Amino acid sequence: MSTAEYDFASIEKKWQKYWEENKTFKTVDFAADKPKYYVLDMFPYPSGSGLHVGHPEGYTATDILCRYKRQNGFNVLHPMGWDAFGLPAEQYAVETGTHPAVTTAKNIDTFRRQIKALGFSYDWDREVDTTDPKYYKWTQWIFKQLYKKGLAYIAEVPVNWCPALGTVLANEEVVNGLSERGNHPVERRPMRQWMLRITEYAERLLKDLDDLDWSEGIKEMQRNWIGKSEGAEVVFKIVRPEGGEVTVFTTRPDTLFGATYMVLAPEHVLVDEITTPAQAEKVKAYQKMAASKSDMDRTELATEKTGVFTGCFAVNPVSGEKIPVWIADYVLASYGTGAIMAVPAHDTRDFEFAQEFNLPIRCIIEPDREAAAGEGVNADDVLEGKASWTGPGRMIHSSNSDGLNINGMTVEESIRTTTEWLLSRGIGRAKTQYKLRDWLFSRQRYWGEPFPLVHMDDGSIKLLSDDELPLTLPEMEDFKPAGTGEPPLAKAKQWLRYTDPETGKQGWRETNTMPQWAGSCWYYLRYIDPLNDKAFIDPEKEKYWMPVDLYVGGAEHAVLHLLYARFWHKVLFDLGFVSTKEPFQKLVNQGMILGLSYKDSRGVLVPTDEVEVTTEGPVRKDTGEKLVEFAAKMSKSLKNVVNPDDVKHQYGADSMRLYEMFMGPLEAVKPWNTKSVEGVFRFLRRSFKMVAEQPIVEDKMDQDQARLCHTVIKKVTEDIESLDFNTAISQLMIFVNGFAGDNKPLPREAAETFVILLSPFAPHLCEELWEKLGHDDTIAYVKWPTHDEAALKINEVEVAIQVLGKIRARVMMSPELTHEEMSEKALAVPAIQEEIGGRPVRKTICVPGRLVNIVV
């Protein structure tokens, strides 16, 4: 008869109350005697649908590490907050008239309740909310610093306008010509917008990636997004009485002798000017066609090259040859100079275009035969202009009478030589280009930070003074955009008009608001000093806590949030407000959790509520058709979304936490399987019974017990350090498998060690067990055990004996034997002698404690 059951519901309630009442996880601002450790979760957008099983994955991982660090004597900062500006609350406001602040507050309450229910050790006194005026006062203040530094400007630029969302979007928010949120079509439209000069930081954003402890994948994505390429700008003279010139950017100035035509982007400013009357009509038509194409169309039609001849010619600056100037939409107006020199023999895009329009193709690099063959390219075809080659080789036909001769050189040499020659003639120079564009920073929305500035009637821009901040959002009845591209704030007539308190001059407030990314660009700093109303952060506190030691979140923010936040941080660093040049030293991306899904034999997805799982496998409820189980992204339509509240009610928060970690490696994409939660739940129940029901004895552990106990200490400690939580849990299971049993006496040392080791994973249960073991204080700060190397020693171990790599026998021996002793023992085994069959032994390979391999 059990004396107690594992009643997770009351245990969890009890300890959550205890932690809250005792402020167990309150973090002190400074602790001279303790090293600091700052662990950050990407704060969530509090959506109306509540927490998803994906959220607690990262939160549990960081919580385990934090609890472990506290028990190892660190002063740990582990905060949580809300990235609460955003479109859904605003759209709901448009539909129902409910103020977004009301919706947001409600959603935050739900998120907070759900997160607290999982027992995470956040210091809730540091909670931040980006929509709180006390918070966005400082977002506005930082914008002022950006503006004062010349990093914020207004530009009339072609922007990504999304009619369905009624707002413009940043390049980063447009995926395949559709909006990242909601997949709505996006069109190019020139508009007056706020921009941030992130391009000024391109080089540093790129270079400083090298020292960060981030996954190579994410670093590579940022590098690609920044897209640095080195080359040269080259000036081409235009052939016409009035003169004129076009500058191009190329990464291959060495191929200049092979440039047989030029291409301008259809939007290039010179196009209208240089087009001959005979071609004017065709050029106009092509420009119109290109402008009406959405980005989506451009992507889909990428295979076929189109373009029109302008009727104009330019001069190849190295050969003096007259070459035609075309326009084509494969040249982008927004990159480089919006114009290129075309070298069809050595560029695949130019080659395709030249073939399409019968333009000359001149080979000026003899391909390296071996490299060409490796790529499946026939070098002779290249020489004859029947194929293009972009790889290594020797320059040919590349000299002029003006002192440039690069024949015979390699690609690298000739790039340098040509660039120097261009520079000496004043018609070119080395140049570095980036794909990164300036950040489009305004949105036509209500629910965002207002810009802290006024457009004065005299045309100047006045920044609000610090004591006019925060500039709060006006109360409104109607949140609909005007439809003309005018933001909702344009309707707030009272709010819009501004009178300068000092000069009495008048102006209009900005009607755009900041994008959602603004608040998340600096929230990690505010956690350090959340209540400061004199500064966005106290410099002393900043110095103590920064940088963030570990940042955990989803990979979907690889370029957006992480690039923007690094940019702001570097600006704040340059202004002397922060002490580190990078905010996030180590970054880990948790893998997405997939839902269990079903499809029929034709591969059609079947919603989970139409599926019945029989002993023969899953079948369709109505037809009985056999289905195949597989993992797919959780979605409402597939009905495979798992709600953390349900899991918690059935198995408890500790089981939920443990399962999230036991599924597999943190960074891997993993399918959720509710049946498997049962497994970790059973483990927790056995753990409870082992400590709460088995007799605890004051005896020392015997040798075997000590060995197991110390092996577990070692493995769990190492695994937490390397974030391998799944294998740490396995090891704890091995402990229970070894120590649990009906009324087997359990040495106190083993019991206490186990409870401490399990406590970061299952904190509620372990607080309870710690109390049952007779302690009256929280386990949260109890010292983490260290393993005793001596206890790990083993007297005899089974060693595999191989002959030519195949296992032929197993023998018990001490793991401390020497090479000679091991081979001696191995060769003494009769079965081995038989296997050798009198052949001479060439050598033996011995791995202590593992195997002996005999080579004959």
Partner RNA sequence: GCCCGGGUGGCGAAAUGGCAGACGCAUGGGACUUAAAAUCCCUUGGUUGUAACACCGUGCGGGUUCGACUCCCGCCCUGGGCACCA
The CB density around residue 618, as the number of other CB atoms within 10 Å, is: 18
For the bound state, the minimum distance from the C-beta of residue 57 to RNA, rounded and expressed in Å, comes to 13
Contact 786, 73 (CB under 8 A): no
Burial 108-141 (b: 16+ CB within 10 A, else e): bebbbebbbbbbbbbbbebbbbbbbeebbbbbbb
For the bound state, the minimum distance from the C-beta of residue 428 to RNA, rounded and expressed in Å, comes to 12
Q: Does the footprint of RNA cover residue 270 (CB under 7 A)? A: no
For the bound state, the minimum distance from the C-beta of residue 673 to RNA, rounded and expressed in Å, comes to 6
**Among 99, 566, 569, 670, interactor with RNA by CB under 7 A:** 670
Q: Which range of residues in 81-89, 97-105, 331-339, 567-575 is near RNA by CB under 7 A?
A: 331-339
Q: Does the footprint of RNA cover residue 797 (CB under 7 A)? A: yes
Q: Does the footprint of RNA cover residue 800 (CB under 7 A)? A: yes
Q: Does the footprint of RNA cover residue 845 (CB under 7 A)? A: yes
Q: Does the footprint of RNA cover residue 668 (CB under 7 A)? A: yes
Burial class (CB in 10 A: 0-12, 13-18, 19+), 678: middle
For the bound state, the minimum distance from the C-beta of residue 681 to RNA, rounded and expressed in Å, comes to 8
State how far the Cα of 135 lies from the Cα of 526, in Å rounded to an integer.
8
Q: Does the footprint of RNA cover residue 577 (CB under 7 A)? A: no
For the bound state, the minimum distance from the C-beta of residue 183 to RNA, rounded and expressed in Å, comes to 12
Q: Does the footprint of RNA cover residue 54 (CB under 7 A)? A: no
Q: Containing H/E element for 365? A: strand 365-367
Q: Which range of residues in 272-280, 396-404, 534-542, 732-740 is near RNA by CB under 7 A?
A: 732-740
Contact 396, 362 (CB under 8 A): no
Question: What is the three-class DSSP state of 121?
Answer: coil
Q: Does the footprint of RNA cover residue 737 (CB under 7 A)? A: yes
Question: What is the three-class DSSP state of 613?
Answer: strand
Range 603-622, binding RNA (CB under 7 A): 615
CA neighbor of 498 nearest in space, from 456, 445, 466: 456
**Among 199, 694, 726, 814, interactor with RNA by CB under 7 A:** 726
For the bound state, the minimum distance from the C-beta of residue 599 to RNA, rounded and expressed in Å, comes to 12
For the bound state, the minimum distance from the C-beta of residue 192 to RNA, rounded and expressed in Å, comes to 23
**Among 213, 220, 380, 625, interactor with RNA by CB under 7 A:** 220
The 3-state secondary structure of 426-441 reads: CCEEEEEEECCCCEEC
Nearer to RNA, 128 or 170 (CB): 170
Contact 442, 193 (CB under 8 A): yes
**Among 456, 490, 734, 829, interactor with RNA by CB under 7 A:** 734
**Among 804, 819, 828, 833, interactor with RNA by CB under 7 A:** 804
Q: Which range of residues in 57-65, 157-165, 634-642, 661-669 is near RNA by CB under 7 A?
A: 661-669
Contact map string, positions 221 to 260, toward RNA, x by CB under 7 A: x--xx-x-x-x-----------------xxxx--------
**Among 397, 806, 819, 839, interactor with RNA by CB under 7 A:** 806
Range 621-640, binding RNA (CB under 7 A): 633
Q: Does the footprint of RNA cover residue 64 (CB under 7 A)? A: no
Question: What is the three-class DSSP state of 644?
Answer: helix
Nearer to RNA, 102 or 301 (CB): 301
**How many residues are listed for the chain in this entry?**
856
State how far the Cα of 200 lies from the Cα of 562, in Å rounded to an integer.
17
Range 161-200, binding RNA (CB under 7 A): 175-176
Q: Which range of residues in 116-124, 154-162, 469-477, 806-814 is near RNA by CB under 7 A?
A: 806-814
Residue type at 461 in one-letter notation: I
For the bound state, the minimum distance from the C-beta of residue 531 to RNA, rounded and expressed in Å, comes to 38
Q: Does the footprint of RNA cover residue 331 (CB under 7 A)? A: yes
**Among 678, 693, 749, 788, interactor with RNA by CB under 7 A:** 678
Contact map string, positions 367 to 406, toward RNA, x by CB under 7 A: ----------------------------------------
The CB density around residue 45, as the number of other CB atoms within 10 Å, is: 19
Contact residues for 701 (Cβ-Cβ < 8 A; gap 6+): 709, 747, 749, 750
Q: Which residue's structure tokens are 């997805």?
A: 605
| Count, residues near RNA per rule CB under 7 A | 81
Contact 403, 435 (CB under 8 A): no
Q: Which range of residues in 220-228, 481-489, 539-547, 697-705 is near RNA by CB under 7 A?
A: 220-228
Residue type at 482 in one-letter notation: A
Nearer to RNA, 355 or 726 (CB): 726
**Among 102, 164, 289, 332, interactor with RNA by CB under 7 A:** 332
For the bound state, the minimum distance from the C-beta of residue 27 to RNA, rounded and expressed in Å, comes to 32
DSSP 324-354: EEEE-TTS-TTSTTSEEEE-GGG-HHHHHHH
CA neighbor of 438 nearest in space, from 227, 698, 737, 152: 152
Nearer to RNA, 142 or 757 (CB): 757
Q: Which range of residues in 422-430, 465-473, 691-699, 729-737 is near RNA by CB under 7 A?
A: 729-737
Nearer to RNA, 305 or 570 (CB): 305
Q: Does the footprint of RNA cover residue 351 (CB under 7 A)? A: no
Range 432-451, binding RNA (CB under 7 A): 433, 435
Q: Does the footprint of RNA cover residue 664 (CB under 7 A)? A: yes
Q: Are strands 393-395 and 365-367 parallel, antiparallel or unpaired?
A: antiparallel
407 Rama sector, left if φ>0, alpha if ψ -120 to 50, beta otherwise: beta
DSSP 205-269: HHHGGGGSB--HHHHHHHHHHH-EEEEEEEEEEEESTT--EEEEEES-GGGGGG--EEEE-TT-T
Residue type at 602 in one-letter notation: R
Q: Does the footprint of RNA cover residue 794 (CB under 7 A)? A: no
Q: Does the footprint of RNA cover residue 206 (CB under 7 A)? A: no
Nearer to RNA, 336 or 450 (CB): 336
Contact residues for 443 (Cβ-Cβ < 8 A; gap 6+): 167, 168, 487, 512, 513, 514, 515
Residue type at 148 in one-letter notation: K
**Among 335, 357, 495, 573, interactor with RNA by CB under 7 A:** 335
For the bound state, the minimum distance from the C-beta of residue 334 to RNA, rounded and expressed in Å, comes to 7
Q: Are strands 228-239 and 174-175 parallel, antiparallel or unpaired?
A: unpaired
Range 551-570, binding RNA (CB under 7 A): 555, 558-559
CA neighbor of 421 nearest in space, from 336, 318, 337: 318
**Among 296, 727, 773, 792, interactor with RNA by CB under 7 A:** 727
Q: Which residue's structure tokens are 């289905």?
A: 627
Nearer to RNA, 220 or 468 (CB): 220
Q: Does the footprint of RNA cover residue 330 (CB under 7 A)? A: yes
**Among 169, 212, 265, 766, interactor with RNA by CB under 7 A:** 265
Q: Does the footprint of RNA cover residue 430 (CB under 7 A)? A: no
Question: What is the three-class DSSP state of 764?
Answer: helix
Contact map string, positions 680 to 719, toward RNA, x by CB under 7 A: x-xx-xx---------------------------------
State how far the Cα of 4 lies from the Cα of 603, in Å rounded to an integer.
49
Nearer to RNA, 102 or 332 (CB): 332
Q: Does the footprint of RNA cover residue 807 (CB under 7 A)? A: yes
Q: Which residue's structure tokens are 């919580």?
A: 63
**Among 361, 404, 627, 729, interactor with RNA by CB under 7 A:** 729
Radius of gyration, alpha carbons of the chain? 34
